Amino acid sequence: MSVIDTAKALRGRYQAAGGRSVEKELTALDKHCRDFISLSPFLVIGSSSDSGPADVSPRGETPGFVQVLDDTHLAIPDRPGNNRLDTFENILENPNVALIFLIPGVDETLRVNGRAEIRDDVELLERFVVDGKLPATVLIVTIEAVYLHCAKALMRSNLWDPETQIERSKLPTMGRMISDQVGDTEEPESQHAMQERYRQRLY
């Protein structure tokens, strides 16, 4: 086995990209991209600091929680989380981000590449109020590339097939796993208690 460390060697292992796989890339949202985003309750966002550490983080709410401001700008509210702020600290150093939107039951995904900035304008925050609560900040993404991604990965994984879903009991509770990882000797929080605690702070 050898390490592939040049673009020439890498391209030698694959056929050249062409046709629709290249032509489908847009620089702004069209009707289909807008519709996809409006139906999506979940996305993952990739970021990286200048020094190299990368991060991928999930975001999710009811469908359409990401607002389309115009053909080249998206707004993503930031709800209560673990306060690590890995994504946001990366963006302060390096604004380049990548998003993948998913829709349950749909094998295709929507990919967006662009540049992000963190905003706390009151009028912007108020666009995302839920149960009287504002997000801490809103991420504005300026789109540089957007395209629909083929279904092969989700088809291979059978991601949406109910028969492939794993029973939660196949894993220890989240509390048990983290207690083991940090060396905590106290009885961990139950899965039910953790989920109830989360429900109290979704917004």
Together in a domain, 33 and 124: yes
Together in a domain, 65 and 102: yes
Alpha-helix residue ranges (DSSP H) falling in 40-173: 86-93, 122-125, 152-157
Together in a domain, 185 and 93: no
Q: Tens digits of per-residue pLDDT, 126-167? A: 999 999 999 999 999 999 999 999 999 999 999 999 999 999
Residue 37, domain member (yes or no): yes
Together in a domain, 81 and 115: yes
Q: Tens digits of per-residue pLDDT, 3-48? A: 999 999 999 889 888 887 788 999 999 999 999 999 999 999 999 9
Q: What is the pLDDT of residue 1?
A: 62
| Number of folded domains that form the chain | 2
Record the tokens describing residue 147, joined without a space.
Answer: 């395209």
Q: Domain range for residue 195?
A: 166-203
Residue 146, domain member (yes or no): yes
- Residue 98 makes CB contacts below 8 A (sequence gap 6+) with 45, 46, 47, 111, 112, 113
Residue 71, domain member (yes or no): yes
Together in a domain, 37 and 102: yes
Together in a domain, 41 and 54: yes
Q: Tens digits of per-residue pLDDT, 90-134? A: 999 999 999 999 999 999 999 999 999 999 999 999 999 999 999
Together in a domain, 153 and 188: no
Together in a domain, 103 and 138: yes
Together in a domain, 105 and 185: no
Planar angle of CA 96, 101, 107, nearest 5 degrees? 135
- Residue 89 makes CB contacts below 8 A (sequence gap 6+) with 49
